[in-house]
Amino acid sequence: MINHIKIAPNFLLSEFACPCCKLVKLDSLLLEKLQKLRDLTEGPLIITSGYRCSNENRRVGGVPHSYHLLGKAADVSSDMVSLERLLDLAAQIGFTGIGYYPRHNFLHLDIRERPLFWKGG
């Protein structure tokens, strides 16, 4: 399977691949922080969206300058901890961009320069 390469103790490169073209861009700092989050939750993190090419970003309604386009963002959820607990842990770890989407049960996490928190629909 393409991109089926272990890149961290609990992540495969394929988890971050664009669904439409299978390409991957992944910033090492994002991966490091996601692994720390995984370690703290003591259970799997589900990467619902990693890298997105521009076509995929448009298809899902992503913002034009999305950090997903740069490999600096991931949308995650967990079956092991509540979304609120995941949010607290992500803030402790130092993700600078955190979007909280309780209706869809995921967090957007990124490594932008200036901190930003938002609550989505």
Q: Helix or strand or coil: residue 83? A: helix
Give me the domain span that covers residue 90: 6-119
* Cβ contacts of 115 within 8 Å, gap of 6 or more: 96, 97
Residue 62 lies in a domain: yes
Separation between Cα atoms, residue 8 and residue 11, nearest integer Å = 5
User: Per the domain annotation, does 65 fall within a domain?
Assistant: yes
- What would the pLDDT profile of 59-103 be if each residue is shown by its tens digit? 999 999 999 999 999 999 999 999 999 999 999 999 999 999 999
Residue closest to 47 by CA, chosen among 20, 2, 81, 13: 13
Residue whose token pair is 């932008």: 112
Quick one: pLDDT band at residue 1, thresholds 50, 70, 90? Answer: low
Q: Has residue 1 been placed in a domain?
A: no
Tally of domains in the chain? 1
- Specify if 60 maps to a domain: yes
Check which CATH number belongs to the domain holding 109 and give it: 3.30.1380.10
Residue 103 placed within a domain: yes
Q: What is the pTM of this model?
A: 0.95
- For the record, the structure tokens of 104 come out as 């869809």
